[in-house]
Amino acid sequence: MDIEKVIQGRTYIDGELRYAEIGISEGRIVTVGRLVSGGDERVDIGSSKIILPGFMDPHVHLRDPGMTAKEDFGTGTMAAVHAGVTCVLDMPNTRPPVTDVETLMDKKSAIRRRANVDYGLFAAVTSGINAGMLAPLVPGFKLFMGSTTGNILLNEDEEMIPSVRDVLATGKRMSVHAEDDHLISKEAEHCTRDHLRNRPAEAEWNAIRRLAGSFKGSRINICHITTPEGLDMAKAAGFTTEVTLHHLMFEVDRNTTAEYKVNPPIRDLDNRDRLFSRFIKGDVDMIGTDHAPHTAEEKASEFDAAPGGIPGLETTMPMIMEMVRAGRLPIQAAVRMASENPAANFGIRKGRIAPGYDADLQIYDMRITSEIDVRRLHSKCGHSPYGGYAAVFPETVMVRGEVQVEDGEFCGEPLGRDVCG
């Protein structure tokens, strides 16, 4: 096969950074080695930079269609690509919710040719779901056991268990918002501590316990794990696990306002610190941003009325890369949790720099750190709790060999494709 393009420099391959030349053809990596000849175009990144596989975010809410005042597929994927995220998996709580093939196909045509990175669209697990028809069209399914934005709760065993059985029989992975709605209280709230009182850790534990009781060892992914105990239960059941940055960063006594209102809730300092050490130790499978944009006006309303959700698509991975730069997190852990595992767990040919994988590549100068400036972020929601935090952004980002970001600025076009056609 003719090699169209060769990128050369210090490259992340099988857990190590070493000099390599990457041959690309038709958007795919075709060869990786010390010497790759040919290529109409050759790019030498120089000795001070590194090449990583693009990141894949297994959990975003881009609000398109139906809530595009908060975000749309163009703005959401613009935020993604500036963070080195070359593929996003979008949740089904859009309007109307993605519960059947017709709605899914409508959503696919609504966003076609508007994405700046590749994407997959989840379908929601509902009672009476036609899982067999949906499965070839989605990277996975999403089950909501606790109420949150969008009304697609499925938490009663009589309905949930047969639907989940049908979904898992397709072989696709099912991501779960694991908070048992029976243990969630709806009392009035004035701050994140009240929100935490209404959504106790037991809700997370009971949801995982119930899934483990019926579906141990199945292809289930527990989203936004908030407690070390929940993490242990999920791992013991053979489920994969996902963690957000906000549950690793924030705690109820310092982060009290509706900006930090999110489901599941942020918890107390001791819990946060214990979760963070498990994360650093490498006990979590994936980082998912759970990017949940709501407008600044909505988040500024009274606590009880404000919607739950924190935006994080453009800030999470740059802050993780700052942890890598500062020596707090091994680079192997970052690449495993943000590239290799999300792609492998959802069966997508990305996340590694190896022949046969999509040429989603990003280039970093790990000496350059900057402060997050909320005004410069690309999400339509216009707010972020991460202003002023240190971050390392990628200099160059490629999606299937096409340069989308150069010198940290978007220079591409909306070439994003659905990973499930």
Q: Which residues are marked as active site?
A: 290
| Shortest separation between residue 311's beta carbon and Zn ion, angstroms | 12
Phi-psi region of 327 (alpha: psi -120 to 50; beta: other; left: phi over 0): left
Of 116 and 147, which CB lies nearer to ligand DOR in the complex structure? Answer: 147
| Shortest separation between residue 265's beta carbon and ligand DOR, angstroms | 9
Of 49 and 209, which CB lies nearer to Zn ion in the complex structure? Answer: 209
Give 62-66's long-range contacts (Cβ < 8 A, gap of 24+): 62/88, 62/90, 62/94, 62/291, 63/94, 63/293, 64/94, 64/107, 64/110, 64/111, 64/114, 65/94, 65/95, 65/106, 65/107, 65/110, 65/111, 66/94, 66/95, 66/96
Of 290 and 395, which CB lies nearer to Zn ion in the complex structure? Answer: 290
Other CB atoms within 10 Å distance of the CB of residue 110: 15
Q: Which helix (H) or strand (E) holds 56?
A: strand 55-60
Choices 111-119, 196-204, 283-291, 297-305 (CB under 5 A): range interacting with Zn ion: 283-291
Q: Which helix (H) or strand (E) holds 9?
A: strand 5-13
| Shortest separation between residue 84's beta carbon and ligand DOR, angstroms | 23
Among 194, 251, 290, 322, binds Zn ion (CB under 5 A): 290
Count of residues near Zn ion by CB under 5 A = 2
How far is Cα 274 from Cα 284, in angstroms, rounded to an integer? 13
Torsion angles phi and psi, residue 52, rounded to 5: -120, 160
Q: Which of residues 167-186 bind Zn ion (CB under 5 A)?
A: 177
DSSP 8-state assignment for residue 291: B
Q: Are the C-beta atoms of residues 363 and 403 closer than 8 Å to each other?
A: no
How far is Cα 338 from Cα 354, in angstroms, rounded to an integer? 16
How far is Cα 54 from Cα 24, in angstroms, rounded to an integer? 15
| Shortest separation between residue 270's beta carbon and Zn ion, angstroms | 23
| Shortest separation between residue 72's beta carbon and ligand DOR, angstroms | 14
| Shortest separation between residue 188's beta carbon and Zn ion, angstroms | 22
Residues engaged in binding ligand DOR (CB under 6 A): 61, 93, 148-149, 177, 262-263, 292, 308-309
384 binds, among ligand DOR, Zn ion, none (CB under 5 to 8 A by kind): none
**Torsion sign across C-alpha atoms 91, 97, 99, 105:** negative
| Shortest separation between residue 388's beta carbon and ligand DOR, angstroms | 23
135 binds, among ligand DOR, Zn ion, none (CB under 5 to 8 A by kind): none
Residue bearing tokens 């693009």: 54
Of 222 and 329, which CB lies nearer to Zn ion in the complex structure? Answer: 222
309 binds, among ligand DOR, Zn ion, none (CB under 5 to 8 A by kind): ligand DOR
DSSP lists the bridge partners of residue 41 as 5
Phi-psi region of 397 (alpha: psi -120 to 50; beta: other; left: phi over 0): beta
| Shortest separation between residue 412's beta carbon and ligand DOR, angstroms | 27
Of 5 and 177, which CB lies nearer to ligand DOR in the complex structure? Answer: 177
Of 25 and 255, which CB lies nearer to ligand DOR in the complex structure? Answer: 255
DSSP 8-state assignment for residue 375: G
308 binds, among Zn ion, ligand DOR, none (CB under 5 to 8 A by kind): ligand DOR
How far is Cα 199 from Cα 206, in angstroms, rounded to an integer? 12
Of 62 and 338, which CB lies nearer to ligand DOR in the complex structure? Answer: 62
Nearest CA to 290 among 127, 125, 148, 110?
Answer: 148
**Cα distances (angstroms) measured from residue 115 to each of 62, 142, 378, 417:** 11, 21, 13, 7
Pairing of strands 118-121, 85-90: parallel
How far is Cα 54 from Cα 413, in angstroms, rounded to an integer? 17
Of 52 and 262, which CB lies nearer to ligand DOR in the complex structure? Answer: 262
93 binds, among Zn ion, ligand DOR, none (CB under 5 to 8 A by kind): ligand DOR
Interacting residues toward Zn ion by CB under 5 A: 177, 290
